Structure 1
Amino acid sequence: MLCHLHAENSPDMGTVYIQENGQLYRLNQASGGASNHVSKPKPSRLFSKGFSVELCMNKENDNGRTDHFIFTYTKEGNLRYSAKSLFSLVLSYIVDNIHHVDSLIGFPEQIGEKLFYAADARQKFTDPRTGLRALQKFTDAYGSSVLQILCLKNRYLVISEKLEEIKSFRDLTCLDLSCCKLGDDHELLEHITKETLSSLIQLVLKDNCLSDAGLRKMTAPVRVMKKGLENLSILDLSCNPGITDKGVGFLLSFKKLNYLDLSATGIEDMMAAIQRIQTQIGLVYSEVPLKEFDHNCKTEGWAEHTVLQWEHAILEAIKPQRNLKSRTAAQRFYGKRARIKEPCESLLGEGHRKTCENLQFYKGRAQVCRFPLLKKKTDDKEELQSKRMPSLEPKKQRLKAKHLGLLMEDLDLLNSY
């Protein structure tokens, strides 16, 4: 063996180690002698120092996927990788093909939540081709867990661009559509009256250009078939000048209402409206603004970030149209003046607007059919009351005395029926 190692034509075998009597010897190939000194071998590197890794995420038709591994660094700076769990791999596969899934009904809610957040992170719901279909899979299976409260205040662009996606949300308990200028014939108002949103408890339609015709359509399922918004508890219809005394009659079908706001509407005979609402629904007129109409609601549910993604994408799409400096410069060159946006004046007169400034109702504990505004007040309050309310006719004054003349026992007896 030694002769073969010391042969001139022998191949380069490198360093050779021999163990004898429990000790390790190294044969020096150059001198041929054995040395008892054993140098510590250098640590071997899995990757070279200049090695770099590029993760390939979501590449179609890529059989050599690298996103199945997790790459980390140790404290010594060495690269370490480990395989993902089988659950993570299956989750990613389902999310990538969520638009091909037939149904998620029957899957546990914990699994559905992980699937939804994974799909949202990959912006599956913003895809114009498959976003709606993917969102419907979750709303059909999990209902209010996907979205329970939806606030679309001043987001008329989101309503216009994502109307079908908004209509896919089921079992909403609160919907805020204030300041969206929808009008009486908007498709979303028709959708509100369907059974899919019969769970609505709070509905805000402030400043939406509604009229009596819109209220008639919105309340038709409740009045005729006892379906639709039958569970509604809080309704805000303020700042809709098209709603008049006739429209109040359509609201009497909401028997479960606890709070109602009709401020800044076109109601002329406020005393008659107060009497009608108090006697038929049991709502009491409030002298002070109610906190229930502060509308500090916030979108809540799995799809909270999804709605923000929609809004961000729409704003980014219209952003270049806002900074058309060349067009402004051309208008100045040709002597055209920029259009000055004048503040929109309300259809109500100044005096009438003060009259209907605060017309909010709540359901009192005793549900007493009486007029809080008709109590005897001080001189300052009477002066303020004279500005806010029209003068009482003699017939109404007799009605006032009649109601104030009842004893509390009589009122409790009437309320027991």
Structure 2
Amino acid sequence: MSAGSPANCERFSWQSVPSLLSLCINFVADNLDLVESFQHFPDLLGKEIFLAAERNEQFAQPDSTVIQRLELFSTAFSTEFLQSLYLSREHLLVNYLSDDFLLFAGVQSLNLSHCGLSDDHEILYKLSCFTNLNTLSLQDNALTSRGLQKLTLPLRMFNRGPKLLKALDLSENPELTIHGIRYLKAYPLLCVLNLSNTAISKNDTKLQLLSMRVCIPEEGVSGGLDSCFRLQTEGWASNVINTWLTWYNNKSKRPRLGENSFYSKQRLKFRLTKCESYAKPRYQLVLKK
């Protein structure tokens, strides 16, 4: 059969020549810096462009250029871009991304547990832009009543914030007292609240302000909390986030000359102190509607 036979031409056309659509998708994916907006694009087409850009390593490291590229998708596709974000114990990356944290404003579930945020962290105020949020974990973040005041201020004063919030984990914040409970009335749909291992007792009468019943799970029983707060990163950008975590953790592990020997005793003392703190008596306090 000759090279120019119809059969060979047909095989070549089907196997070697990409479709016009795939050519356009790859062209756009390679030139995201020239795109102004993906508003009103079909979700399916937006996903194909995103995946093509990811394959071409357009989102490899979280620098300013990459953030601008991702904002095109987060603005236009919001929830599809990222439905759930799990950043527990990733305080280094959280702080690194704090200026650009609104990139994730479309998420419905967010876990920021064990990130050392404290009352004055700017992310607390930025959560007012997370209007789709229905599940939030702020476990073990050194929060006090002042932190709850700051967290709920935009919603209480300007009616701007996560009005759809249903589940909130504030456990392991030992300085959190009953005085901050009144601020949580700003969340009208709140139906699960974890206050375990805080300074709040089941006998505090101000708990009645939330119109929720106290539910103290038995020892060793989660009381259904696992299903509420056991999150994982989901959405188009899930692989991007996981890549960033690996990249930043590897970056932060690079030792500096003389640092290990100088700080070894301090680090050991910190770890022992932390272990002792977790050895203290623990209790569970959960409120539900």
Give the TM-score band, short-chain normalised: 0.7 to 0.9
Tell me which of 23, 29, 33 is aligned to 1:89: 23
* CA drift at 1:228: 1.1
Tell me which of 94, 115, 118 is aligned to 1:180: 115
Is 1:99 the counterpart of 2:33? The answer is yes
Is 1:142 the counterpart of 2:72? The answer is no
Tell me which of 86, 111, 136 is aligned to 1:151: 86
Three-state SS of the structure 2 residue aligned to 1:320 is coil
The one-letter amino acid of 1:156's match is: H
Q: Deviations over 1:302-338 (max 9, x none)?
A: 000010111111123234328x7x776xx59xxx974
Written as runs of structure 1 = structure 2, the 5 A alignment for 1:187-266 is: 187-194=122-129, 197-266=130-199
- Contact persistence 1:132–1:164 (CA under 8 A): no
Is 1:310 the counterpart of 2:244? The answer is yes
* CA drift at 1:230: 2.0
Q: Classify 1:260/1:293 alpha carbon distance in 2 versus 1 (closer, same or farther; 3 Å).
A: farther
Aligned mates of 2:86, 2:127 — CA distance in 1: 14
Q: Deviations over 1:182-210 (max 9, x none)?
A: 1111111110023xx12211110000111
Aligned mates of 2:64, 2:209 — CA distance in 1: 50
Q: Classify 1:337/1:204 alpha carbon distance in 2 versus 1 (closer, same or farther; 3 Å).
A: closer
- Structure 1, unmatched stretches of 5+, are 1-42, 47-73, 75-79, 364-417
Aligned mates of 2:17, 2:285 — CA distance in 1: 64
Q: Classify 1:343/1:109 alpha carbon distance in 2 versus 1 (closer, same or farther; 3 Å).
A: same
Aligned mates of 2:190, 2:276 — CA distance in 1: 28
Q: Deviations over 1:268-325 (max 9, x none)?
A: x5312xx433x43321111313222463211111000010111111123234328x7x
* Aligned-pair Cα RMSD in Å: 2.9
- Contact persistence 1:241–1:347 (CA under 8 A): no
TM-score (norm 2): 0.84
- Contact persistence 2:202–2:214 (CA under 8 A): no
Tell me which of 271, 281, 286 is aligned to 2:203: 271
Equivalent pairs, count: 272
Deviation >6 Å, runs of 4+: 43-46, 345-349
Q: Classify 1:133/1:256 alpha carbon distance in 2 versus 1 (closer, same or farther; 3 Å).
A: same
TM-score (norm 1): 0.59
* CA drift at 1:219: 1.4
- Contact persistence 2:174–2:197 (CA under 8 A): yes
Q: Classify 1:86/1:218 alpha carbon distance in 2 versus 1 (closer, same or farther; 3 Å).
A: same
Aligned mates of 2:127, 2:3 — CA distance in 1: 65
Is 1:344 the counterpart of 2:274? The answer is yes
Q: Classify 1:247/1:98 alpha carbon distance in 2 versus 1 (closer, same or farther; 3 Å).
A: same
Written as runs of structure 1 = structure 2, the 5 A alignment for 1:43-192 is: 82-127=16-61, 128-192=63-127
- Contact persistence 1:236–1:293 (CA under 8 A): no
Q: Classify 1:205/1:327 alpha carbon distance in 2 versus 1 (closer, same or farther; 3 Å).
A: closer
Q: Classify 1:86/1:200 alpha carbon distance in 2 versus 1 (closer, same or farther; 3 Å).
A: same
Is 1:286 the counterpart of 2:212? The answer is no
Three-state SS of the structure 2 residue aligned to 1:99 is helix
Q: Classify 1:243/1:348 alpha carbon distance in 2 versus 1 (closer, same or farther; 3 Å).
A: farther
* Structure 2 match to 1:388: none
- Contact persistence 2:191–2:212 (CA under 8 A): yes
- Contact persistence 1:231–1:256 (CA under 8 A): yes
- Contact persistence 1:241–1:348 (CA under 8 A): no
- Contact persistence 1:171–1:200 (CA under 8 A): yes
* CA drift at 1:92: 1.4
Aligned mates of 1:349, 1:247 — CA distance in 2: 26
Aligned mates of 1:138, 1:337 — CA distance in 2: 44
Three-state SS of the structure 2 residue aligned to 1:271 is coil
Aligned mates of 1:346, 1:258 — CA distance in 2: 33
- Structure 2, unmatched stretches of 5+, are 5-10
The one-letter amino acid of 2:197's match is: A
Q: Deviations over 1:101-132 (max 9, x none)?
A: 01111211111000011111122123524201
* CA drift at 1:345: 6.4
Three-state SS of the structure 2 residue aligned to 1:168 is helix
Relative to total residues, which structure has the larger helix share, 1 or 2? 2
Aligned mates of 2:154, 2:198 — CA distance in 1: 23
Pick 1 or 2: higher relative contact order, CA cutoff 8 A, min separation 6: 2
Q: Deviations over 1:33-57 (max 9, x none)?
A: xxxxxxxxxx9999xxxxxxxxxxx
Aligned mates of 1:163, 1:109 — CA distance in 2: 28
Aligned mates of 2:276, 2:158 — CA distance in 1: 36
Three-state SS of the structure 2 residue aligned to 1:175 is strand
* CA drift at 1:91: 1.4
Aligned residues with identical type, % of pairs: 29
Q: Classify 1:303/1:292 alpha carbon distance in 2 versus 1 (closer, same or farther; 3 Å).
A: same
Is 1:362 the counterpart of 2:263? The answer is no
